[in-house]
Amino acid sequence: MPMWNPEAESMPRNALEKLQGERLAKIIEYTYHQMPFYRQKMDEAGVKPEDIRSLDDLNKLPFTTKQDLRNVYPFGNFCIPMEEVVRIHASSGTTGKPTVGGYSKNDLELWTEVMARTVTSCGVTNKDVAHNAYGYGLFTGGLGFHIGFQRVGATVVPVSGGMTRRQIMLMEDFSATILTCTPSYALALAEEAGNIGINFQSRMKIRAGIFGAEPWTEEMRREIENRMGIEAYDIYGLTEIIGPGVSVECEHRNGLHINEDHFLPEIIDPATGEKLPYGTEGELVFTTLTKEAMPVIRYRTRDRTVLHAEECACGRTMVRMEKIRGRTDDMLIVRGVNVFPSLIEKTLLSIEGLEPHYQIVLDRPKDQLDELEVWVEANRHFFEPIDTRRLDQLRDEAEAELAQTLGVRATIKLMGPNSIERSAGKAVRVVDKRALYKDS
């Protein structure tokens, strides 16, 4: 499969590292002078821009956290005057203030470039019709894909999220070949097609989907691929860095290539901040090397993964990150046991008869221990007519499996078709009633 920008994407690693070092020195110089809060951090750490000359100097620099950005909300980390800021986006920020993303004209050009690389990596060309069901608006997903598709000359259908039934009609009528949305919404689309008697595989021309913006397991990927008869690619990004376009899988789908000439990745130990070598799991940290409006230096994403630098058969030299394993803050502690939502998803999807729609509900009734409930839909054939004996068996089986993989007891609540709310964007997987305030 072709690359959008082979010169950049397959640059020899020594040349790439040299380029990264030069860009790093420049961006630090720039940020130090343009962003007061980061200058203060550097001053406190006793680091001067002159101390940063190559990649080896990176670990002298202080980290930036989500809280740092919140402290200067909304525009305190912008490095250019508002006259030169041409676009604003923001993260969902369910509870707290959202994180803002600001873009100069050049930043939008950069975003377009990395999104053109991204969609090309998934085989998109000017012959494709791209049904873009990521939300358009403040969320970066919709518009991020939009500019990438336009740049490669594909026909983009800016349908955004919601009105699922209408989407099915449009997807078929317009002969869409590419689908972009969250993995959970992909499932909702496949399901809705089934509800109105449309066999997705035979009626739709979609051959590939580019899914991201929320965690999803390999089991979920298989589920989506089987239901839709497509190839599903994983894409990763975040508002603080640029939105989608930070990394994406290639045709080998053995990790997501990071656009490292612009976004410099590191893995650190989240507890100590110590830099970890390739091949080790830890927290992903990014430094933007070329952004103007809002560079971020050593930004702690809170996302957990592993980086690999070995060459990839596709010819790209850019490091690969494994599928995100979760966030450093999404681990649930249930009666003292660490529980990862991704492990619950993996387990549920391995059980015949359960559907990929679930929610994890945590509660702590007064003076009692934590209660972990998993609400999951069972296949509709158990309900037509309702077969309580087999539903009880299924529940027992699921509870036994979960107890074994999690090491803590979870109560399974089997639900009928469509009882877990479908999301057009990021699915809400965990409802923690124990906490009054949960950070987004």
Residues that bind Zn ion (CB under 5 A): 250, 312, 314, 316
Residue 327: which of ligand ADP, Zn ion, none does it interact with, CB under 5 to 8 A by kind? ligand ADP
When asked if residue 440 is in the footprint of ligand ADP (CB under 6 A), the reply is yes
When asked if residue 213 is in the footprint of ligand ADP (CB under 6 A), the reply is yes
- For strand 178-181 and strand 129-132, is the pairing parallel, antiparallel, or unpaired? parallel
Task: Tell me how far, at minimum, the Cβ of 9 lies from Zn ion, in Å.
Answer: 9
When asked if residue 214 is in the footprint of ligand ADP (CB under 6 A), the reply is yes
Task: Tell me how far, at minimum, the Cβ of 362 lies from ligand ADP, in Å.
Answer: 20
Residue 20: which of Zn ion, ligand ADP, none does it interact with, CB under 5 to 8 A by kind? none
Q: How far apart are CA 410 and CA 25, in angstroms?
A: 51
Among 74, 76, 93, 417, binds ligand ADP (CB under 6 A): 93
x-or-dash string of contact with ligand ADP, 50-89, rule CB under 6 A: ----------------------------------------
When asked if residue 245 is in the footprint of ligand ADP (CB under 6 A), the reply is no
Whose Cβ is closer to ligand ADP: residue 21's or residue 237's?
A: 237
When asked if residue 234 is in the footprint of ligand ADP (CB under 6 A), the reply is yes
* Binders of ligand ADP in range 283-312 (CB under 6 A): 301, 303
Task: Tell me how far, at minimum, the Cβ of 323 lies from ligand ADP, in Å.
Answer: 7
* Binders of ligand ADP in range 320-349 (CB under 6 A): 324, 327
Whose Cβ is closer to Zn ion: residue 6's or residue 36's?
A: 6
Contact set with ligand ADP (CB under 6 A) = 91-93, 212-215, 234-239, 301, 303, 324, 327, 440
